[in-house]
Amino acid sequence: MAREPDKFPPGIYLVSTPIGNLEDISERQRRVLEDYDVVACEDTRRTGQLLARLSIKKSLLSYHEHNESARAEQLAEKAEAGERIAVVSDAGTPGISDPAYRVVRAAVDRGVTVYPVPGPSAVVAALVASGLPTDRFVYEGFLPQKGEKRWRRVDELLEEDRTVVLYESPHRVVRLIEEISNRTPSRPLVLAREITKLHEEFLRGTASELANKTNGKNVKGECVLLIGPKRMEN
């Protein structure tokens, strides 16, 4: 097994962080966060709390949807000048439904090396534990929040012959399940909630069954909804 060098070379390091259970952080992730010149994150308070629990003291630089273009260039420039930049998301793998893509794009355009430091991902964790086919799947991210565009996209996804994985707000997920049930009641669905946390829950069944299970409930926590392929309908 190859051993990491005592000092990591300059570049952009995409560091996955726990999605709920702190024990899911790897030794390599910890070493990267300890050894880096700058840690770039979406929410400095949230990442600061994580680092404090790991007894790591680092300067934090925020990047988010309001400053992502300018910050991406700044981080790529720092890495090009020889600094080691660790990029983290609020939880999980950077670049999955967060602004880290722009940092990577800016680095690639400058010829800066980008290193993945893999680890937790709610997408993969939900998929592999769902019981739905994993050989072919599509990750949708977040649906449009409302209006005709949202429901048109739902109709398109229901035609998929691959497992669909998407993120949804707990405030909207019950309505989404209800609408899928109205369109295709026998389609297999899985609602994964609070993955790796104390109240982790996987609800499995047809769209109609999940609509009954969640009807009138105040769903809380971070949710991943998985839609089975069209071929699995009864």
| Residues 43, 64: Cα–Cα separation, whole Å | 8
Residues in the chain, pLDDT under 70: 1-6
Q: Where are the domains of the chain?
A: 11-117, 122-232
Question: What string of H, E and C letters represents the secondary structure of the chain?
Answer: CCCCCCCCCCEEEEECECCCCHHHCCHHHHHHHHHCCEEEECCHHHHHHHHHHCCCCCCEEECCCCCHHHHHHHHHHHHHCCCEEEECCCCECCCCCCCHHHHHHHHHHHCCCEEEECCCCHHHHHHHHHCCCCCCEEEEEECCCCCHHHHHHHHHHCCCCCEEEEEECCCCHHHHHHHHHHHCCCCEEEEEECCCCCCCEEEEEEHHHHHHHHCCCCCCCCEEEEECCHHHCC
Query: Position of tokens 């090009």?
Result: 80
pLDDT value at position 8?
85
CATH topology for 11-117 is: Cobalt-precorrin-4 Transmethylase; domain 1 (3.40.1010)
pLDDT value at position 5?
52
pLDDT value at position 102?
93
CATH number for 122-232 (one of 3.20.20.70, 3.40.50.720, 3.30.420.40, 3.30.950.10): it is: 3.30.950.10
Q: Would you state the structure tokens that stand for residue 222, as one six-digit string?
A: 């971070």
pLDDT tens sequence across 10-63: 999 999 999 999 999 999 999 999 998 899 998 999 999 999 999 998 889 998
pLDDT value at position 122?
96
pLDDT value at position 202?
98
